[in-house]
Amino acid sequence: MNAEIIVKPAKISDLDTVARLRALAFGGNEIEARTYVESNPRYNYRHIVVADLDGETVGTACAFPTQMWLSGVPVQMGAVGGVVTHPDHRRKGVFKAMMETLLNRMAQEGAAVSALFPASHDLYQQFSYAAAANWRAYNIEAKNLPPFAEAEAVRPFEMEDLPTIRSIYRGGELSQNDGRLSRANSWWDHLVSKKYRSGDKHIVVYDADGVEGYLKYTLGEKNTLRVDEMLVSDDAAYRGLWGFIAAQPNIQTIEYVAPPEDPIFHLLKVPTDRHGGNRGWIFNDIYHATASFMLRIIDLTEALTSRFYPQNMMGNRILKIHDPHIPSNSQLVNFRIVDGRPDTLPVDAQPPQIESDIATFSQIFCGYLSPETARKLGKLKADDESAAWLGKAMALKPLYIHSGDWF
């Protein structure tokens, strides 16, 4: 007989076990793991579940509420992380039971979408999560960057700069830098706390006539500088911060996981990656495309009506989206857009004009996959007109979550 798996909300008394499981899976020690949970401004033990098997806690997972900005508006999101099954109890259904519990809980709590950073994509594909963004991982030789005179305006960060930096980040959300997560003031305080401004960690700002840019970076082994986060509201600030990076003494390699639209590619004197990589004849690597986070829609109607669509766009389509985990998403939906504003309407029995599975539709929803490509791959059914209409509606900039918000 299979043992019963019980997934339940964590209590304060479970935190030592949660810390032990996290330290076992992610490294570090139990004290650090517990301190991280207790001091984290984004979530607490109430967002954590534990899984018991034969009376022993053998798994833990977390889903906390946040907001992802899409089309210039915040969309309610459940952020899944800290998913651990003890190595001695894998392949017994513990992981599956925890994920099913989190999906149900996020649906009940009003999340429109959910995202996670996977250790393995295939683990989460079974729960209809799908890749949502490809980012560019650069390894830049320092001498491959040009100097900029604007670097002279870069200085160390001071706490008095924080309101301006928050405003710069907020401006990016409103200007449709899609994928950014909302940041509470308490989270900002954490991100610029002393531990991120001591030892090998540094924060600087561009201040020519007021703060217009911000850079967090870490100095690593082998004369490496890792760009942890860069925010700018001005072209000169972009040049100044990269000029500052290029001028750092003894730095040989600059590592940067960048959004696809970042123009750093055009700054390189020679379009090549420091570590090389020849793809035949004269084709050399410039950066590596890297899969980032996964996303799935939790509440289809809430997701469809939470974001904006192109101004003056009109029309409606009958959707049939198959979701094996959240049955309410599998109902027919009449999705209507009037002058860029969405709603959903009741539907009698009608043949769908657009049909897909929830994982594929989640990729279309966040702009990662076009309907035409999904149809070519056999993942979507729609005629030419409906595919084009849906593609116009769902177009977004590539999603990017800044590293300070990775979970």
Can you spell out the DSSP letters for 279-336?
-STT-B-S-EEEE--EEEESSHHHHHHHS---TT-EEEEEEEEE-SS-GGGGS-EEEE
Same domain, 206 and 269: yes
pLDDT of res. 2: 65
Domain end, chosen from 62, 96, 120, is at 120
State whether 163 and 41 are in the same domain.
Answer: no
64 & 207 share domain: no
Domain boundary among 291, 325, 350: 291
Does 191 map to a domain?
yes
Note the pLDDT tens digit of each residue in 108-117: 999 999 999 9
**Residue 126 falls within a domain, yes or no?**
no
* 8 Å CB contact between 371 and 321: no
Which pLDDT score, from 0 to 100, does residue 341 have? 95
Are both 160 and 254 inside the same structural domain?
yes
- 204 in Cβ contact with 157 (< 8 Å): yes
Instruction: Find out whether 202 and 245 touch, Cβ atoms under 8 Å.
Output: no
Beta carbons of 150 and 236 less than 8 angstroms apart:
yes
Residue 16 exposed, middle or buried by CB count within 10 Å (0-12, 13-18, 19+): middle
In a domain, 180, yes or no: yes
CATH code, 322: 3.30.1050.10
Are 310 and 266 part of one and the same domain? Answer: no
Say if residue 42 is in the same domain as residue 187. Answer: no
- On whether both 285 and 323 belong to a single domain, the answer is no
Report pLDDT for 175.
Answer: 75
Residues of the chain below pLDDT 70: 1-2
Three-state DSSP at 228 gives strand
- Structure-token pair, residue 68: 């992802």
Does 216 reside within a domain?
yes
- Other C-beta atoms within 10 Å of 205: how many? 24
How many domains does the chain fold into?
A: 3
Q: Are residues 281 and 170 part of one domain? A: yes
Q: What is the pLDDT of residue 281?
A: 78
What sign for the dihedral angle of Cα 180, 181, 186, 189? negative
Residue 185 class from Cβ within 10 Å (0-12 exposed, 13-18 middle, 19+ buried)? exposed
Give Cβ neighbours of residue 120 (< 8 Å, ≥ 6 apart): none
β-pairing, 5-9 vs 48-53, is antiparallel
Helix (H) or strand (E) holding 243: helix 235-246
Last residue of a domain, one of 93, 120, 147: 120
Q: For residue 404, give the nearest of 221, 180, 172, 204 by alpha carbon.
A: 180
Residues 200 and 282 in one domain: yes
| Joined tokens for residue 265 | 């590619």
Distance CA 76, CA 153 (A): 38
Give me the sheet containing 211-220, strands edge to edge: 154-156, 201-207, 211-220, 224-232, 253-258, 134-141, 288-291
Is the residue at 403 inside a domain?
A: no
Look at residue 128 and tell me if it is in a domain: no
Assess whether 332 and 284 both reside in one domain: no
| 405 in a structural domain | no
Q: Specify whether 99 is located in the same domain as 246.
A: no
**Residue 313 falls inside a structural domain:** yes
CB 110 within 8 A of CB 302: yes
Pair (306, 268) in one structural domain: no
Please say whether the beta carbons of 235 and 256 come within 8 A.
Answer: no
Per-residue pLDDT tens for 21-36?
Answer: 999 999 999 999 999 9
Question: What tokens were used for 59?
Answer: 């798994």
Res 388: pLDDT = 98
> What does the pLDDT read at residue 134?
97
Can you give the CATH number for the domain in which 90 is found?
3.40.630.30
Cα–Cα separations (whole angstroms), residue 390 to 271, 317, 328: 36, 9, 21
Contact between 310 and 393 (Cβ < 8 Å):
yes
Domain that holds residue 92: 5-120
Hey, is 162 helix, strand or coil?
helix
Q: Which residue has the tokens 């032990």?
A: 20
Q: Work out the end-to-end distance of the chain between its first and last CA atoms, rounded to an integer number of angstroms.
A: 37
